[in-house]
Amino acid sequence: MSFRLGDIADKTENGPLRGIQREIACECWFTSRGKSIPRLIKVMDEEGMLHTIRDIQLLTTEEKTYCGIQTVEHLCRINMGGRMETVKLIFTKESCKWTIVKI
């Protein structure tokens, strides 16, 4: 008797997403193999000012599941206000929305 664990192992749970999430607009390029690469983001600050960030360095991309919700998590370095910051750009597949989480 045998059984397959591949489907279960591929969908490991990462628990709740930690950090303060802010909704963003993201322009993304998709390769011919379906890999997503963020190219531009727009984020609103605490004062309501809209900032456009084009200087995005993609470090890693990983598919994760948070509380049963499938996401694609991009670890990036961005130029925010003249200083480089490491952030996570998270695409939620179910709702097709982007969020940013500062690390």
Owning domain of residue 40: 6-15+22-102
Distance CA 19, CA 10 (A): 24
- The answer as to whether 80 is a domain residue is yes
Q: Which residue ranges in the chain fall short of pLDDT 70?
A: 1-12, 15
CB of 48 within 8 A of CB of 42? Answer: no
- The answer as to whether 83 is a domain residue is yes
- The answer as to whether 93 is a domain residue is yes
Number of domains in the chain: 1
Query: Given this model, what pLDDT does residue 2 score?
Result: 52
- The answer as to whether 1 is a domain residue is no
Distance CA 96, CA 30 (A): 14
Sign, Cα dihedral of 51, 21, 62, 82: positive
Please, which contacts does 49-56 make with residues 24 or more away whose CB atoms are closer than 8 Å? 51/80, 51/81, 53/78, 53/79, 53/80, 55/79
